[in-house]
Amino acid sequence: MEKISVAVRFRPPKSSVDADADSPSFSGGGAVGNREWRIDDSGISLLHRAVPVPGTSFVFDHVFNESVTNARIYGLLVRSLIRGAVDGFNGTAFAYGQTSSGKTFTMNGSGADPGIIPLAVRDIFDTAAEVIAYSTRSISFLSASCLNSPPYYVC
């Protein structure tokens, strides 16, 4: 099995009001005043007058911009977990972030862009149908959410 993979996904603005706000576009970075975010496929850095600000460079396995589809994220990060699970390994995919940052959309998706959960369920049952003739498998699923919970509450 592979190591833990950490990815960041920037959600698109929810409306034209958000798009006009005083914040950079995250498709490659952007500037606000003397500050600039430099973003590439594997990292995010804050610069002040083109000089990196100490302690503000972060490296990830993947950085996804606003235009990436859930299917692309699934293919890069989750599909191998499903294949491993069918072979008897444990795997976990979870979304973490602040309120309204796009976790539910990434995990559940929409009709036009199915999320991680529906894509995984489809692959699980497609793969299970292939192996059912020669083995027995059990499938379990857990979904936890802490909406509107006090900050000290742990799911």
**Binding region for ATP:** 97-104
Q: Which two tokens stand for residue 58?
A: 């972060």
Q: How far from 138 is each of 16, 37, 64, 87, 125, CA to CA, in Å?
A: 46, 46, 33, 12, 11
φ and ψ at residue 104, rounded to 5 degrees: -65, -40
Contact present, 138 and 88 (Cβ < 8 Å): no
Question: Binding site membership: which residues?
Answer: 97-104
Could you tell me how many residues make up the chain?
A: 155
Residue labelled with tokens 């793969």: 127
Q: CA-to-CA distance for 117 and 145, rounded, in angstroms?
A: 14
Dihedral sign (CA 22, 23, 24, 25): negative
